[in-house]
Amino acid sequence: MSRRSGILEFAVLGLLRESPMHGYELRKRLNTSLGIFRAFSYGTLYPCLKTLVASGWLIEEPAGDPADTTPVAGRPATPSSSLTGRRAKIVYRLTPEGKEHFEELLSHTGPDAWEDEHFAARFAFFGQTEREVRMRVLEGRRSRLEERLEKMRASLARTRERLDDYTLELQRHGMESVEREVRWLNELIESERSGRDQRRSSPEGSAQQDTPGETGGLPRHRDNTRPDPSDDTAM
């Protein structure tokens, strides 16, 4: 499995954990909610869905009973798909095994989770992720970007005199993008730590548990935007 197809499978499982959907709904959510998948097409999504079904992590169900021709108040009876020649829509539902597999994927905090596209997908499901796992992923991502930033600065120092103004400006733009995301990550990490410390110091702190969905209060940005990890410039 390629890294990119693995990210897609992760995102599909995560979306279907929220609710069953048919293929069109899934693609729409991938495009709108998870912008990193804007380039994906039906030709990419449906093989992924078939793989997940074959693995036992999803099941296919018809969207309603295609043979049901009972009229609804104010609406004429609808002929079955077998009579109209149209196929009934297929709804994809997460199985218990699929949910368990997704939760296992959520717990992974290794280097793959720090890379641009994988991190963006992981962050999109932080609401379903344990606090300690969120912290490890955020800290790993920050370390990865700090390493990248150091290399970019060293490269710029070596080549500055040989670059024209436009290439130099492009490199500066890339560095600024990485620096901006590092600052954003610092705010997120501090927010996670503050939320954890507040719970520990509260009278009920000993009885509280870290649960998915607890954010501890995300930092508010002046411009109400956050960096897009997929826009980082790797040098």
**Paired strand residues for 21:** 92
Residue 193 lies in a domain: yes
DSSP secondary structure, 101-140, as one string: HHHHHHT--SGGGGSHHHHHHHHHTGGGS-HHHHHHHHHH
pLDDT of residue 173: 95
Give residue 208's Cα distance to chain centre. Answer: 27
61, 136: one domain: no
CA-wise closest residue to 199 among 211, 213, 186, 216:
216
CB within 8 A of 227, min separation 6: which ones?
177, 180, 181, 184
pLDDT of residue 66: 46
pLDDT of residue 137: 96
Residue 97 lies in a domain: yes
CATH number assigned to the domain comprising residue 34: 1.10.10.10
92, 147: one domain: no
Per-residue pLDDT tens listing for the chain (235 residues)? 456 678 899 999 999 999 999 998 998 888 887 766 666 666 788 899 999 999 999 999 997 654 444 444 444 444 445 444 556 689 999 999 999 999 999 999 989 899 888 898 999 999 999 999 999 999 999 999 999 999 999 999 998 888 899 999 999 999 999 999 999 999 999 999 987 655 555 555 544 445 555 555 555 444 444 565 545 444 4
CA-wise closest residue to 131 among 14, 211, 204:
211
122, 208: one domain: yes
pLDDT of residue 71: 46
Q: pTM for the full model?
A: 0.73
* Enclosing domain of residue 160: 116-231
Report how many domains make up the chain.
Answer: 2
Residue 74 lies in a domain: no
Decide: helix, strand or coil at residue 94.
strand
CA 60 – CA 93 distance, rounded (Å): 7
139, 90: one domain: no
CA-wise closest residue to 138 among 39, 9, 226, 6:
226
Residue 176 lies in a domain: yes
Q: How many CB atoms lie within 10 A of CB 181?
A: 23
pLDDT of residue 63: 78
102, 136: one domain: no
Residue 40 lies in a domain: yes
pLDDT of residue 70: 45
